[in-house]
A and B are shown apart, each in its own frame.
Chain A
Amino acid sequence: MVELSQDELELFVTEAEENIANLENGLLKLEREGDAALVAELFRYAHTLKGSAGAAGLTEMSQLAHAMENLLEEVRNGTRKVTSDLVDTLLECVDMLRAMVLAIQENGKQPDPSMLIKKLSNLSDQQSDSDASDHKPSSPVGEIPVTLNIFIKPECPMPSVRAFQAYLIMSRYGEIVSLEPPVSEIQAGRAKYRLVAKVKLSDDNSLSELEQELTKFDDLVVEVQRQKDGQKVSEIVTAQKEVETSTAPQAELQSVRVSIEQMDALLNLVGELVIERARLERGVRKVAEINGNGIAEELQGVTERVSRIVSQLQESLTRTRMVPLNVVFARFPRLVRELSRSMGKRVQLKIEGEDTEIDRALVEKLNECLVHLVRNAIDHGIEPPDERIAAGKPPEGLIEISASQSEGSVIVVVRDDGRGIDPNKIRRKAIERGLLTEEQASSLSDDEAIQFIFRSGFSTKEEVSEVSGRGVGMDAVKNAMEQIGGTIDLHSQIGAGTTVTLRLPLTLAIIPALLVRVGGRLFALPMHSVTEVLDLQRSDVQEIGTGEKVLVLRGNPLPLFSLAKLLGIPNGRTEGTGVIVRQQEKLIAVSVEAVEGKDEIVIKPLGYPLHNLRSFIGATILGDGSIALIVDLNGVTIRR
């Protein structure tokens, strides 16, 4: 293998992963709605992979990609039909490619693809034997030359070398009719930042391949002009002039790659900055108390500006941590295909809103939850085809995963049109498990009964199936969601299906929070769960029975709890302030001694062994270095 530098290796791996993922997605689509454009696209991915693997000296990977390319070529020219078996085989290749890339990353032993390559070439042989005569020679050499304007970006360190590389590549694809500047000039090191080449290509298809191969160099921009006879060359010339006169490169570099560690380090620094900002503000306030004007005023002005900049810095950095949900959703088509096939079910998967962004730190947990929910939907929800037909449904079940953003949260919904959850089954199970008495069970509404699915160790499917597993069930999903400050909501209707709604915070790192005083200490309440703050003295608070309180808010009676009591801390102080918060999608009122302000806080985990504590999502370090616990209102159990 060619020795690649660390950077080159990383670049190769990232590109390969992208191509492999594209291949996989495309293949899954191909089975369902294959069209010529898609096949051509797949062919391109395999081709690119073949090229880059070859260039990196990964002969076996390149060979595998080549074998895939051959099969896809047969699909493209119509000599091979798309069957489930073909897709299976090609997906097998995708897995192998993935394993190979992984082995490179981890410096492990390269898996051996020779069996798979053989399988593929056997497939190809069978086909070509049956219609050998069909094997057309490539299209006749293009009569009309194509004009390529190749711009070399100013940041390219050795433009002549790059120009010569481009020349070599073009000459592989066809006959170069003319080249400006001529090869001799290029070889003499006198290449400018542009190349104009007229190339007669060997066939039509190779144009996009050539283009792709050229643009693999980040510092090349390629413009293709299919020249009709008699077309004026002046247009091209003006284009060149523009490039020459403007110092800016034709296409700006759109993105840079930054390692995750680096991102996290930056975010940590900003976190520290946020803490120091609070300290600075406090200090300036103190100075203002002593020295009312003059120096204090000036300091205040500076502090305000610094604060604003820190806020903006924090906001844009947090934004860079966001990733589109596509990174999570992308694996589901494959998962659904495999699971539904193994269970003899037919399932169509619809994905919506994959552009919605979430904090990278949430990706893993969300993925965990979704895998669980989708497995459940296929295993328990979607009925086998005959059962569906008997129920008057289409034989193919539908699972929808959709994502959207609203009010500082990301909402992910998993919906299936399966048989739904039978509340009576849940009731029976809850009685069996000793969770409910007969009476209690019958007094529960259907919706309430269904919520028992979230109790730990609760699983209603009689036999333990390989897919959904034992023990861990919806309770695991609920726990995972709560750990990241999210909520889960489930609705089901017998015969019509089940809808699970996950609500996640946008970001985990830095959140706005309300600082409240409880039991003489400061606690933080995440702003996303706070709806309003009010003076209890001026509110309509009514006592019901034995000390239970209700706050009537605009005619709406809300239960009122002491936050100190909810948290289980002693309090002997007057709690004069009420905070209306959202708990499990419902509004409740909690009383606190005082609201001390609103602050941007950096969430830090409580650390082992407190990581499972349900009342707090973490702690934060305040401006004076002291610690405030961040209350998780969904984790607080209501007790009076």
Chain B
Amino acid sequence: MVQVMEEKQERNIVVFRLNGTLFALDIQNVQEIVQQSDIVSVPGAPTFILGIVNLRGRIMAVVDTKRLLGIGETSTDKVLVMVAQIGEHLVGFTVDEVEQVTRVASDSIEPVSDLVSPEEARRLEGILKLDGKLVLLLDANRLLDEETLEAAMSQQH
């Protein structure tokens, strides 16, 4: 067979669970995963913001990922927070459980079709199958962009 010129692209992703659904973020966007117990709520913040935490002397906002994605809400006691680098910002995202860190072929990530609402499709980079299960790959750069924030703010007021 003729050798295919293009090198097979691979990506490292962090797969995590939220209310039974599998999601993933590119590992480039994930700095660490920490257990947090004292999350301080911020009055007047968008509802999808769980609060702020003291991350080694730095204040970081923690997003209730379930609320952000519209799939329920996180109970506040003790949560697992995935610290993500979005642009130049550090933001924490709550997750129920981290499933695995794995390497997948780029071409195994398929574009989001009509399976999801356009609103949801905006936040997704694609969908892939891992051990027979569907994983939604989130687009870190769009997860909290202006549009999302504006939509969230307008819902609130």
Which residues in A have some Cβ–Cβ distance to B below 8 Å? Answer: 272, 275, 521, 567-569, 604-610, 613-616, 618-619, 621, 625-627, 629
Q: Evaluate contact between A627 and B52: CB separation under 8 angstroms.
A: yes
The residue that A615 contacts in the complex, of B44, B60, B90, B91, with Cβ under 8 A, is: B44
Q: Is the CB of B43 within 8 A of A609?
A: no
B8 within 8 A of A: no
Are B43 and A569 in contact, with the CB atoms below 8 A?
yes
Most buried by A among B59, B87, B90: B59
Count of chain B residues with a beta carbon within 8 Å of a chain A beta carbon: 23
Interface presence of B104 (CB below 8 A): no
A626–B144 CB distance below 8 A: no
Q: A627: nearest residue on chain B (CB-CB)?
A: B40
For the A-B complex with A607-B58, A621-B54 known, give 17 more contacts whose Cβ atoms are closer than 8 Å.
A567-B44, A605-B59, A607-B91, A608-B89, A609-B46, A609-B49, A610-B52, A610-B61, A613-B42, A613-B44, A615-B44, A621-B57, A626-B38, A626-B54, A627-B53, A627-B54, A629-B43
Q: Given A272-B57, A621-B57, A627-B54, are A608 and B45 neighbors across the interface (CB < 8 Å)?
A: no
Contacts of B134 in A (CB 8 A): none
Whether A619 lies near B38 (C-beta < 8 A) is no
Option from B49, B59, B60, B91 in Cβ contact (under 8 Å) with A618: B59
* B149 interface residue (CB < 8 Å to A): yes
CB pair B43–A568 under 8 Å, yes or no, is: yes
The answer to the question of B86 belonging to the interface, with a C-beta cut-off of 8 Å to chain A, is yes
SS class of chain B's interface: helix, strand, loop or mixed? strand
- 0/1 per residue, B103-143, Cβ < 8 Å to A? 00000000000000000000000000000000000000000
Closest to A628 in B: B40
Please tell me if the beta carbons of B91 and A619 are within 8 angstroms of each other in the complex.
Answer: no
Q: Are B90 and A607 in contact (CB under 8 A)?
A: yes
What residue in chain B is nearest A626 (Cβ atoms)?
Answer: B38
Contacts A621-B57, A627-B54; A607 near B45 (Cβ below 8 A) = no
Nearest B residue to A620 via CB reads B59
Q: Which residues of A contact B90 (CB under 8 A)?
A: 607-608
How many Å lie between the Cα of A604 and that of B38 in the bound state? 17
Are A608 and B61 CB-contacts (below 8 A) given A613-B44, A615-B43, A627-B54? Answer: yes
In the complex, what residue of chain A is closest to B62 when comparing beta carbons?
Answer: A607
Quick one: closest B residue to A268, CB to CB?
B57
Name the residue of chain A whose CB is nearest to the CB of B88.
Answer: A608
CA distance A180 to B146 in the complex (A): 73
Interface centre among A567, A608, A625 (most CB of B within 10 A): A608
Please tell me if the beta carbons of A609 and B91 are within 8 angstroms of each other in the complex: yes
Listed A/B pairs (15) with beta-carbon separation below 8 Å: A568-B44, A605-B59, A606-B52, A607-B52, A607-B60, A609-B49, A609-B91, A609-B149, A613-B42, A615-B43, A618-B59, A619-B52, A621-B54, A625-B54, A626-B54
Give the residue of B42, B54, B58, B87 whose beta carbon is less than 8 angstroms from that of A610.
B42
Known: A604-B58, A607-B59, A609-B49. A629 touches B86 (CB 8 A): no
Provide the residues of chain B in CB contact with A275, threshold 8 Å: 57
A610 to B89, CA, bound (A): 11
**Which residues of chain B from 1 to 59 have a CB within 8 Å of any chain A CB?**
38, 40, 42-46, 49, 52-54, 57-59
Give the residues in chain B near A609, CB-CB below 8 Å. Answer: 46, 49, 61, 89, 91, 144, 149
Contacts of A616 in B (CB 8 A): 42
The smallest C-beta distance from A469 to any residue of chain B, in angstroms, reads 20
- With both beta carbons as reference points, the residue of chain B lying nearest to A566 in the complex is identified as B43
- Nearest to B40 among chain A residues (CB) is A627
Chain B's closest residue to A275 (CB) is B57
Do A613 and B59 touch across chains, with their CB atoms under 8 A apart? no
Q: How far is the CA of A607 from the CA of B149 in the complex (A)?
A: 14
Q: Is the CB of A619 within 8 A of B44?
A: no
When C-beta atoms are compared, the residue in chain A nearest to B51 turns out to be A627
Q: Are B38 and A610 closer than 8 Å at their CB atoms?
A: no
A618–B59 Cα distance when bound, in Å, is: 9
Complex Cα gap A610–B58 (Å): 14
Shortest Cβ distance from residue A520 to the other chain B in the assembled complex, whole angstroms: 12
Instruction: For the complex of A and B, list the 7 residue pairs with the smallest distance between their C-beta atoms, beginning with the closest.
Output: A608-B89, A567-B43, A627-B40, A604-B59, A569-B43, A568-B43, A619-B59
A625 CA to B58 CA, complexed, in Å: 11
Q: Residue of A at shortest CB range from B89? A: A608
User: Which of B53, B57, B91: most chain A CB closer than 10 A?
Assistant: B57
Chain B hits for A606, CB < 8 A: 42, 52, 59, 61
Nearest-Cβ distance from residue B104 to partner chain A, whole angstroms: 28
Residues of chain A within 8 A (CB-CB) of B61 are 606-610
Which B residues lie within 8 Å of A604 (CB)?
58-59
Complex interface: chain B residues within 8 A of A626 (CB) = 38, 40, 54
Looking across the interface, which residue of chain A has its beta carbon closest to that of B60? A607
State which of A605, A613, A621 has its C-beta within 8 Å of the C-beta of B45.
Answer: A613
In whole angstroms, how far apart are the Cα atoms of A406 and B46 in the complex? 37
Output the nearest chain B residue to A272 by Cβ-Cβ distance. Answer: B57
- A606 to chain B: closest CB distance in Å? 6
Name the distance in Å between B62's Cβ and chain A's nearest Cβ.
Answer: 10
Q: Name, among A606, A607, A614, the residue most crowded by chain B CB atoms within 10 Å (CB to CB).
A: A607
A609 to B153, CA, bound (A): 11
Q: Chain B: which residue is nearest A518 at the CB level?
A: B43
- Rounded to whole angstroms, the CA-CA distance of A607 and B40 in the bound complex is 14
| A608 nearest CB neighbor, chain B only | B89
Contact (Cβ within 8 A) B44 A608? no
Complex: how many Å from CA A616 to CA B49? 15
Given known pairs A604-B58, A621-B57, A625-B54, the reply for A610 and B45 (CB within 8 Å) is yes
Closest to A636 in B: B44
Which of chain A's residues have a CB closer than 8 A to the CB of B86? 608
Separation in Å of the B86 CB from the closest CB of chain A? 7
| Nearest CB in chain A to that of B48: its residue | A609
Q: How far is the CB of B44 from chain A (nearest CB, A)?
A: 5
Tell me whether A629 and B40 are in contact in the complex, defined as CB-CB below 8 angstroms, given that A272-B57, A608-B91, A609-B149 are known contacts: yes
Query: Per-position contact with A for B64-106: 1 when CB-CB < 8 Å, else 0?
Result: 0000000000000000000000110111000000000000000
A606 to B90, CA, bound (A): 11
The smallest beta-carbon distance between A274 and chain B, in angstroms, is 12
Q: Smallest Cβ distance from B141 to chain A, in angstroms? A: 12
A126–B58 Cα distance when bound, in Å, is 64
Q: How far is the CA of A605 from the CA of B89 in the complex (A)?
A: 11
- A606 to B60 alpha-carbon distance, docked (Å): 7
Residue in A closest to B44 when the chains form the complex, CB atoms: A615
Which residues on the A side are within 8 Å of B89 (C-beta)? 607-609
Residues from chain A with a CB closer than 8 A to the CB of B57 are 272, 275, 621
Residues of A within 8 A of B42 (CB): 606, 610, 613, 616, 629
A275 to B57, CA, bound (A): 10
Given the complex, which residues of A lie within 8 Å of B87, measured CB to CB? 608
Which B residues are in CB contact (< 8 Å) with A610? Answer: 42, 45, 49, 52, 61
In the complex formed, the residue of B with least CB distance to A521 is B40
